[in-house]
Every structure is written in structure tokens, then in C-alpha cells.
DNA sequence: CTGAATCCACTTCGATACTG
DNA sequence: CAGTATCGAAGTGGATTCAG
């Protein structure tokens, strides 16, 4: 076990760990990790896989993930251009935690929907 | 194992499961779950515990969590007013998944920071 | 003490048009 | 095909003020 800096506390403003939470909290990042789970995919494939994402957001999110070392980008200089994206080991390691959250979502989805309905009907 | 509606697919636009991801992705929700982990807390205690949150956001987030059935709100009619918040079972059940993510963050924090630094220095 | 309500600066994101 | 650039609409969130 390696020691951690005691300053790493997400409850403190400005702590860098909050940036990590932002990363995980991003909807598109989560979906792209899933879309790239096992296989390398092209830009256009991702655009189709992740329904509703705009070209702009896909590019933007892929850049951020590349910057964070979650995936690699490989461009082939040919015509037409071809660019492949694949998860790094770090990116792969994110799948398990996300899976746990996904399972939780599925398990509690009905409960939450019911709770919201009740809450809203009472407040109406 | 109970069967699930096949329509529940976060990769499709408009799927309600995306709302669940939003819930989890919210920074303040995550921190509040942590702050309420074991104990009931008052509004003002939460305001102090979660550094950097504004009164507005605390109220807003608490309302959303109450609506989602993650916590209960108990108001005591006295002067001055006292309001307690505590996690429901559903709220408690969220702790484990979030802990997994927290562990991941801690484990990969240094890697991500390094990756960002390299990426930025190359792009400069 | 625990909010609700308002104002406003800032960010986000989709749509569109253009490029190598 | 895989972007980049730009614009405007919409949402977010902080600060402040008022209220039960």
C-alpha cells in the first residue's frame, strides 16, 4: 500500500480529485467507455453508436479522454482519412467501476421513477 | 433475477436511464451522500461539510435527492427552525458504488495528472 | 435557521458551414 | 472521413436579498 497525500480530499474546494469526479460524471465519457469496451472503433462508428451525441461533443470528449490517458488515437494517412480509437489499460480499468454503477442504476431505476412520480403528484 | 424492459438502453437518446447517470454524475450529490454516510445532519452542517457549495445548490440538490428517494427531510417546527436530512435505504445503497469509483479515482489520480501534463506540454 | 426568489455572468452544447 | 470554427439558445450556478 502506497501512502497518499493527506491533501487529497474531495470535500475541499479546489482539490484536484474533484476533476476526477467530473471525468466520471460526464455522460458521454461513460457511454464512450462502454462503446469502446473491447474493440477499436472509428470516429464515425462512435458517432453512430452513441445516439444523440453531436460531432462536436464526440470530438471534444475524445480529446479529453485522450488527454487523461483513457484512450489512444491512431490516424491513418490515407484517403479518405481513417482514425481509430481504443481504450488504454487505464480506460479499461474504468469499466469495472462503471459497471457497478450501471448495475445500481438498473436495480434502482424503478424505485427512483416511482419516487419521482409520487413526489411530483404530491407537490402538484 | 427479474426481467428488464429491453427498452432500457442508455445508448439510446431519451432513455430514462440517462437521467440516472445524471444523478450519479452530479458532483454535489456524490459529496452529500458521503457527508450523510452514517449520520443525520442539519442543513447548516451540510453547508459547512461540503466546502464550496452555495446555499442555493445545497437546497436544490437536497430537493432533487429527496425527490429521487435518496434521502428524507424532517422539519422541526420550532424557533429557530431545524431540519434534518438522512439517507434512505436507497441512498445508503448508493454508497458502495460510489466507493468503488472513489477508489478508482485515488488509484488513478497520479496517472491521470501525469497524462494531462504530458499531453499539454506536447501540445504547447 | 432554513430556506425562496431574483439577477446575472459564465459555461455548455447543438446546429451549421467549411477544410484537408 | 474526420475534423475545425463560429454563433446563438439554453442551462448552470454564485451572490444577494427577502421571508417564515
Q: Is B99 on the interface with A (CB under 8 A)?
A: no
Cα separation, A86 vs A32, in Å, equals 10
Q: Is B4 part of any domain?
A: no
Q: Would residue B37 count as lying in a domain?
A: yes
**Residue B88 φ/ψ region, left for φ over 0, alpha for ψ in the -120 to 50 degree band, beta for the rest:** beta
A60 domain-assigned: yes
Cβ-Cβ contacts under 8 Å for B108 (sequence gap 6 or more):
A20, A90, A93
Q: pLDDT averaged over consecutive 10-residue blocks of chain A (124 residues)? A: 59 72 82 94 96 95 95 95 97 92 86 91 77
Grid cell, residue B79, equals 424557533
Q: From the CA of A59 to the C1' of C16: give the distance in Å.
A: 16
In a domain, residue A116? The reply is yes
The answer to whether position A112 is within a domain reads yes
Quick one: average pLDDT of B12-40? 83
**The pLDDT of residue B22:** 76
Q: Which three cell numbers, joined as nine digits, stand for B22?
A: 445524471
For chains A and B, what is the number of CB pairs under 8 angstroms? 140
Instruction: Pull the grid cell for residue A62.
Output: 475524445
Across-strand partners of A75?
Answer: A83
Asked if pLDDT for residue B1 goes beyond 60, the answer is no
Chain B residues with CB under 8 Å of A94 CB are: 104
**Phi, psi of B83, rounded to the nearest 5 degrees:** -130, 125
Residues 70-89 of B with CB under 8 A from A: none
The residue segments making up the domain with residue B57 are 17-121
Alpha carbon of residue B6 to chain centroid: 27
Give pLDDT tens digits for B43-71: 999 999 998 899 999 999 999 999 999 99
Residue B69's pLDDT is 95
Does residue B46 form part of some domain? yes
Mean pLDDT computed over B96-108: 87
Q: How confident is the model at residue B17 (pLDDT cuts 50, 70, 90)?
A: confident
Is the CB atom of residue B75 positioned under 7 angstroms from any atom of strand C?
yes
Are the beta carbons of A109 and B66 separated by less than 8 Å? no
The domain total for chain B is 1
Closest CA relative to residue A104, chosen from B74, B109, B33: B33
Residue the block writes with cell 458532483: B27
- Mean pLDDT, rounded, of chain B: 88
Contact flag B100-A96 (C-beta cutoff 8 Å): yes
Residue B10 lies in a domain: no
- What contacts A62, CB < 8 A, 6 or more positions away? A32, A43, A46, A71, A73, A85
Helix axes A55-67, A27-35, angle to 10 degrees: 80
User: Is residue A2 situated within a structural domain?
Assistant: no
Strand partners, A73: A85
Strand B71-76 and strand B82-87: pairing? antiparallel
Q: How many CA atoms lie within 13 A of B20 on its CB side?
A: 24
Show the cell assigned to A98. Answer: 462503471
Of the candidates B83, B87, B60, the one whose C-alpha atom is nearest the C-alpha of residue B72 is: B87
CATH of the domain at B109: 1.10.10.10
Amino acid at each position: 500500500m502506497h501512502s497518499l497525500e493527506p491533501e487529497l480530499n474531495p470535500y475541499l474546494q479546489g482539490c484536484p480529485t474533484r476533476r476526477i469526479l467530473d471525468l466520471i460524471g460526464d455522460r458521454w465519457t461513460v457511454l464512450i467507455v462502454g462503446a469502446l469496451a473491447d474493440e477499436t472503433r472509428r470516429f464515425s462508428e462512435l458517432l453512430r453508436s452513441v445516439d444523440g451525441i453531436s460531432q462536436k461533443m464526440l470530438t471534444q470528449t475524445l480529446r479529453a479522454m485522450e488527454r487523461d490517458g483513457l484512450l489512444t488515437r491512431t490516424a491513418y494517412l490515407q484517403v479518405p482519412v481513417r482514425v481509430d480509437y481504443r481504450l488504454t489499460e487505464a480506460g479499461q480499468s474504468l469499466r469495472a467501476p462503471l459497471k457497478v454503477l450501471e448495475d445500481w442504476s438498473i436495480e434502482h431505476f424503478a424505485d427512483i421513477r416511482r419516487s419521482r412520480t409520487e413526489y411530483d403528484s404530491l407537490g402538484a
